[in-house]
Structure 1
Amino acid sequence: MDPKLLAFLKSPDSYPHNPEGVSHIQTHISHVFLVPPYVYKFKKSVDFGFLDYSSLAKRKEFCHREVELNRRLSNDIYLGVVSVSKEGDSFQISDEVLQTDSVVEYAVKMKQLPDEYFLHSYLEKGTLKKSHLNRVVDKLADFYNTQQPDEQVLQYGEIESIKVNTDENFEQTKGFVGETIDDNMYRGIQSFTNQYFEHRSELFERRIAQRRIVDGHGDLHLEHIHITPEKVQIYDCIEFNDRFRYGDLAVDLAFLAMDLDFNNRWQEERYFIDEMSKKLDDPDLLEIIDFYKCYRAYVKGKVKSLQSGEEEVPQVDREKAAQKASQYFDLSLRYALLGSKPIVLIFMGGVGTGKTTLAKHFEQKFNIDRFSSDRIRKSMAGLDLQKRTPAEQRDKLYTQLMSEQTYQTLIEKIEKCIGEGKSVILDATFSNRAVREKVIRRLGELETDYLFVEAKAAEDVVKSRLKQREGEDDVVSDARLEDFETLKNRYSPPSEIGDENLISVQTDQPVEQTIRTLYFELADRNISNSNR
């Protein structure tokens, strides 16, 4: 934007209603000026391929399109399109759409909504209720159910059309690999996406046959939903590209569902999607929603990545955008590898095989609580976690009774987390078959998905790792090289666990390669489970 025009728009004196002040907000595609009781939204002169505001004529066109489309779900927010003209060195805002050569910019004029009624405000205040979500469900169900999609819209449910968007996302984020997303994540999400298309084609075909493809909102975020006692209004839909608005109603709902997950409101998300499924008489929604949440989280990561590279955005905001981008990519990866329902991930394996390294990685990547048998055992005994237990105390620490108490505590951690609707990671040897079977029985009673990840490594690699521990001060495990033979002989491989609940991974390779292999294995399992 012209710096002189920007300065003009930042001045309260520039607006016809003489507001007390002006607040300026930037996104990667817009300049937004809050001038109570109104909002003026200007489109940036940008061309990202999927979005083209590069000419004044196009910005005018899309301003009108924005007003028209958003009035479908918000009947009195969008007041119309306004013009900014320039005569000499002075600018002037007009509520009319002027056609003269003096016009230098167009904007959408809106009512400013009270912050307290936005859906994200209810979340932040801890006042979100099921009744709020029920009203959103009713609003959206009416919106989708009244549509009669024609062939032009229905084609956007075909895999070829969806793949245009997903391929474009991966192409446009290549340059951010190593910055906001790492290479393993990029490859893992891409593999999941393409494998899902290949193995679940019948699901996409069924969605088209059931006419679940709609002209939706396209950007259904928490901050775009406003709930007062009188009405629900949903605004700021996608106007710049029809293919981002046309699609499965599940891809529309996935943005809001993903937002709830991002804010760690997993139970509310599940309630919302369950209610939408019932209201729409759409059981397949529950089956396909994680695929589309993966897509939506990736889109959000892409958008934040683009913001992080905008030179005109202040450095501090660019850094925040980069951090947010990484968080959204992490969430996308979680959907790709684990889905969004609660799961118990159990990292097991012999001493020195690297199970704790893997467990910590998933703990940090997905923000899932991790519970370590070594930590629990030492904590119960009142011992220093970072120091090796003295030899004279180890016999008491590793008795059968102490082991039973340790694993019982792990079961209690599972029960607590699953009861709260959260996933959980266990980090323990699980060398005893009877202990594994006890845990599996309890997981069956809880009706919870679970996966054992067995870490394996060659003996020489394990011995080298154990020897290295001798000079380290922050190792919680007491196992050292001298204990190898004894512990190896105690370890019983998990041959009783079926393939659907067990992945074995070799860790005697670089950590990044091990993680990549595990990502691909988990993505394959996730796709297989979605088809059961």
Structure 2
Amino acid sequence: MDETGNKHMATLEDSTERMIAFLRQPSAYPHRPPAVEIRQTHASVLAIAPPYVYKVKKHVNLGFLDFTRLSERKENCERERRLNSRLCPELYIGVLPIASKDNRLFFGAEGRIVEYALQMRQLPEGFFLDQLLQSDQVTPATLDLILQKLKRFYEEHPPAPSVSAYGEAEKVREVVEGNLIALKEHTGEIVQEASLEAVQNYCARFFADNQALFEKRVQEQRIRDCHGDLHLDHIHIWQGKVCIYDCIEFNDRFRYIDVASDMAFLAMDFDFHGRPDLASYITSRLASLLHDPDLALLSDFYKCYRACVRAKVECITSQEPEVPAIERQRSREKARRYGSLALHYALFGSQPAVLVVCGRSGSGKSTIAGRLAELLGWEYVSSDITRKALFDIPQHQRSSPEMRANLYAQQVTDHVYQILLNQTRYAVMNQRSIVVDASFGQPRHRALFGQGLSRAQVPFLFIEMQASDETLRKRLAKRDKSRQVVSDARFADFELLRQLYHEPNEVAPGQLLRINAEKALGRIEKEILQQLSVLIGKNREQRGG
């Protein structure tokens, strides 16, 4: 950025900081609230001044929205009021000018108008859907109130041909790919390149395989002028009254969408908050209310897209200098979680799944298992950690030779694998996915998991990490100098470990990946996600799904 650009950015930051300082003062408001709370999004500043809330657009151009000119900010305030009145007319009061005179800001039109604020009534705290979920007050009956309102909303606004056109496959592809391109700018610390590539590949395959479905949606008039930003904290329920607010006003193409896409945002948000049961309920219930059996076919695709949208928004917020540091860090963490959720949808859809990472000691299986759990946002269990916990041995303390005779006795090892299976089955019974880290060098332990997970009807895959004897020896020898290794296996154990390990040749090809563990970590991650994608795709085709 050149000197002119730097000065422009500094001016915008100063302008935003000045506006926040003004909005923070109770004396700035005609009704003199006792206190004012400031909140920020990537595009707006919110001033909570009971009993009102004032929303001011930031001077930003993010590509998908442009608020750099005063006229645009005023127009978007007015559009926001008009569009949101469709679902919550009582919330919005008006658009107020903010003027500057004698180097002071104030509400009113005297002097030079520098900004506009959207004035809203403050909704009672504790009744936003995310808050109700946190206090365990969201039930199917609660959701039915929301879904009935959405049903009426969709049916009362039949689409014009200009709106329906946005449901064509190429139009949808433009939006999805545009979001992924924007997200790619944040690869590195927050967004992992291997994960994003897997999501991109999934989306490309979905478009290639479902052209007829997109055409059918347009013909059936499933493309409507929707809400476009339908997540938990945009829904308020109080005394049986549902208020759905803060729809997309700045870009029509984000609002002219399939009702399946609108619903998917809400379903994805329930998944994000650990309630896949509620996500599943709203998907099936809305499909029934709208007489739309194909809605479920699009659910995972649109949930993946919506998770990417939220990841992008949180990435943007995490880099805004005027946002407090603690909120920027919170946005980084949310962005990672949304990215993990998108990857899960791309690979496994909405159902829980199990990855069993196995291999000889020194193959790097624990490193890869931990990394996959982090990328996917899954739970992680380890035979090494479980084994030491049974004997109250600290994780990174190597057991004595005398202790190891008991620690690695066959009956103890069998018990460890049974514990791992019990933990895995408990996780998937509660709709949580899990990565299992153990050598699985004995066929009976692989059979134990295969039979147990098949009975639980949960998809699972073995990932065997492979490396040459020379590489394994080097890695085991290296452990003698490290104090951060959980496993007790060392160079001196190489021959015994080699004899004890039996390759998983009996595992069906559709449930086994073999991975070269001698590459760089980033390349291994990318290869695993690529092979998972291909293998899962083949399995779906064989099942006719």
TM-score (norm 2): 0.89
* Corresponding position of 2:299: 289
* Corresponding position of 2:196: 186
Distance in 1 of aligned mates of 2:461 and 2:81: 49
Superimposed CA distance per residue, residues 232-278 of structure 1 (whole angstroms, 9 cap, x where no aligned partner): 11000000001111112222122222222222223332333233333
Preserved contact between residue 456 and residue 505 of structure 1 (Cα < 8 Å): yes
* Corresponding position of 2:174: 164
Q: Percent identity?
A: 37
Preserved contact between residue 430 and residue 436 of structure 1 (Cα < 8 Å): yes
The amino acid across from 1:33 in the alignment is A
Preserved contact between residue 196 and residue 527 of structure 1 (Cα < 8 Å): no
* Corresponding position of 2:275: 265
The answer to whether the aligner puts 1:12 opposite 2:26 as a matched pair is yes
Of 527, 530, 533, the match for 1:523 = 533
Of 34, 43, 52, the match for 1:29 = 43
The answer to whether the aligner puts 1:252 opposite 2:262 as a matched pair is yes
1:281 is paired with a residue whose SS is coil
Structure 1: gaps spanning 5 or more residues: none
Q: Give the number of equivalent residue pairs.
A: 528
Of 118, 121, 129, the match for 2:131 = 121
Distance in 2 of aligned mates of 1:3 and 1:400: 66
Of 238, 245, 249, the match for 1:235 = 245
1:58 is paired with a residue whose SS is helix
Distance in 2 of aligned mates of 1:334 and 1:65: 36
Of 50, 57, 65, the match for 2:79 = 65
Preserved contact between residue 17 and residue 322 of structure 2 (Cα < 8 Å): no
* Corresponding position of 2:431: 421
Q: Output aligned runs, 1:66-465, within 5 Å.
A: 66-86=80-100, 91-94=105-108, 102-465=112-475
The amino acid across from 2:297 in the alignment is E
The answer to whether the aligner puts 1:501 opposite 2:501 as a matched pair is no
Counterparts in 2 of 1:529 and 1:242: CA distance versus 1, 3 Å: farther
The amino acid across from 2:350 in the alignment is S
Distance in 1 of aligned mates of 2:164 and 2:49: 41
Counterparts in 2 of 1:79 and 1:337: CA distance versus 1, 3 Å: same
Preserved contact between residue 337 and residue 377 of structure 2 (Cα < 8 Å): no
* Superposition deviation, residue 308 in structure 1: 2.5
Structure 2: gaps spanning 5 or more residues: 1-14
The amino acid across from 1:320 in the alignment is R
Counterparts in 2 of 1:345 and 1:87: CA distance versus 1, 3 Å: same
Superimposed CA distance per residue, residues 429-464 of structure 1 (whole angstroms, 9 cap, x where no aligned partner): 222223322322221221111111111112221121
Distance in 2 of aligned mates of 1:16 and 1:137: 38
Distance in 2 of aligned mates of 1:367 and 1:460: 33
* Superposition deviation, residue 383 in structure 1: 4.5
* Superposition deviation, residue 91 in structure 1: 5.0
Counterparts in 2 of 1:281 and 1:505: CA distance versus 1, 3 Å: farther
State the structure with bigger RCO (CA 8 A, min sep 6), 1 or 2: 1
Preserved contact between residue 158 and residue 204 of structure 1 (Cα < 8 Å): yes
Superimposed CA distance per residue, residues 121-155 of structure 1 (whole angstroms, 9 cap, x where no aligned partner): 11232333332222222222332344423332222
1:115 is paired with a residue whose SS is coil
1:116 is paired with a residue whose SS is coil
Preserved contact between residue 381 and residue 420 of structure 2 (Cα < 8 Å): yes
Superimposed CA distance per residue, residues 41-75 of structure 1 (whole angstroms, 9 cap, x where no aligned partner): 12222222211222222222222211111112113
Counterparts in 2 of 1:400 and 1:321: CA distance versus 1, 3 Å: closer
Distance in 1 of aligned mates of 2:359 and 2:209: 31
Preserved contact between residue 22 and residue 35 of structure 1 (Cα < 8 Å): yes
* Superposition deviation, residue 465 in structure 1: 1.2
Q: Output aligned runs, 1:29-48, within 5 Å.
A: 29-48=43-62
The amino acid across from 1:335 in the alignment is Y
TM-score (norm 1): 0.91
Preserved contact between residue 336 and residue 526 of structure 1 (Cα < 8 Å): no
The amino acid across from 1:141 in the alignment is K
Superimposed CA distance per residue, residues 473-507 of structure 1 (whole angstroms, 9 cap, x where no aligned partner): 34332333333333334333333333332222111
The amino acid across from 1:61 in the alignment is E
Query: RMSD across aligned C-alpha pairs, in angstroms?
Result: 2.6
